[in-house]
């Protein structure tokens, strides 16, 4: 693992073979990148959450999870949903390559590889990522005393429940929350009990108040099968900031 340099990119390499990880690290060393190493899927998810890598280099064969499944799972996480993923694997069949791209991979490189080719592939992925239009994240300011939220310069008054729901999403960022988990966390229902329509109704009402286009939400976003997450920045320049 190399120390992170100011202004350099962070590369996360996920491979169950320590020798393969070292080879990748040495190949990328001349670029000055910070290279983080994960020997398994569990470690990879934790490092991705903590360090927000600029590129992920992933093997198909991992000790605790199929690399294809890990790639698909990473695509559901807000903080790496658009991070370029390069598969580097000994598998070379056309089917393996197709599966890697279908599950969310951006490129595929056969191992063993030439170091200069790996560096070129990573540079290409970084260029493409830099050229992608960045989604605008609205700035929100929450006031717990008045239960109001200011979206950029627009102010909306929330009910107590709506405010608590929005506050909860802020305090638990970077992951999706199912309607059931929100029922348990905010309404105190036992696991598997309660009516998830209650959550959906409050989410719908919140979107009507804070979204520019409630039918195409940009602040409270959802992913089928995963739940809700918040795509916004918290304005901490307020008298009663919420700690994230």
Task: Give helix 197-210 / helix 160-171 axis angle, nearest 10°.
Answer: 90
**Where in the chain do CATH 1.10.10.10 domains reside?**
139-234
Q: Could you tell me where the DSSP H helices lie in 132-244? A: 160-171, 179-186, 197-210
* CATH T-level fold of 139-234: Arc Repressor Mutant, subunit A (1.10.10)
Other CB atoms closer than 10 Å to residue 85's CB: what's the count? 27
| Intervals of CATH 3.40.50.2300 along the chain | 10-131
| pTM value surpassing 0.95 | no
* CATH of region 10-131, choose from 3.40.50.2300, 3.20.20.80, 3.20.20.30, 1.10.569.10: 3.40.50.2300
Could you report the per-residue pLDDT of 33-70, keeping only the tens digit for each? 999 999 999 999 999 988 989 999 999 999 999 999 99
Give the model confidence (pLDDT) of 3-34 as tens digits: 333 347 999 999 999 999 999 999 999 999 99
Cα-based angle 149, 152, 157 (whole degrees, multiple of 5)? 20
Q: Judge whether 67 and 16 are in contact, CB under 8 Å.
A: no
Give the confidence band of 2 by pLDDT, cuts at 50, 70, 90.
Answer: very low
The tokens for 105 are 């991979």
Q: Supply the pLDDT for residue 136.
A: 62
Q: How confident is the model at residue 193 (pLDDT cuts 50, 70, 90)?
A: very high
């Amino acid at each position: 693992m190399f120390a992170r340099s100011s202004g350099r990119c962070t590369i996360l390499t996920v491979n169950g073979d320590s020798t393969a990880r070292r080879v990748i690290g040495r190949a990328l060393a001349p670029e000055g990148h910070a290279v983080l190493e994960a020997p398994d899927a569990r470690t990879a998810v934790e490092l991705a959450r903590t360090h927000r890598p600029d590129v992920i280099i992933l093997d198909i064969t991992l000790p605790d999870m199929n690399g294809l499944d890990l790639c698909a799972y990473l695509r559901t996480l807000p903080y790496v949903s658009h991070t370029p993923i390069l598969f580097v694997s000994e598998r070379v069949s056309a089917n393996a390559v197709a599966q890697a791209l279908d599950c969310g991979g951006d490129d595929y490189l056969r191992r063993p590889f030439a170091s200069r080719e790996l560096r070129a592939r990573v540079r290409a992925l970084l260029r493409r990522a830099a050229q992608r239009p960045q989604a605008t994240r609205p700035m929100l300011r929450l006031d717990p005393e008045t239960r109001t939220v200011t979206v950029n310069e627009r102010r909306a008054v929330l009910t107590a429940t709506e405010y608590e729901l929005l506050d909860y999403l802020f305090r638990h960022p970077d992951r999706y929350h199912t309607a059931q988990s929100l029922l348990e966390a905010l309404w105190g229902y036992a696991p598997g009990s309660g009516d998830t329509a209650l959550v959906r109704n409050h989410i719908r009402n919140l979107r009507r108040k804070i979204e520019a286009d409630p039918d195409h939400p940009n602040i409270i976003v959802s992913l089928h099968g995963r739940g809700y997450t918040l795509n916004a920045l918290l304005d901490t320049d307020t008298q009663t900031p919420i700690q994230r």
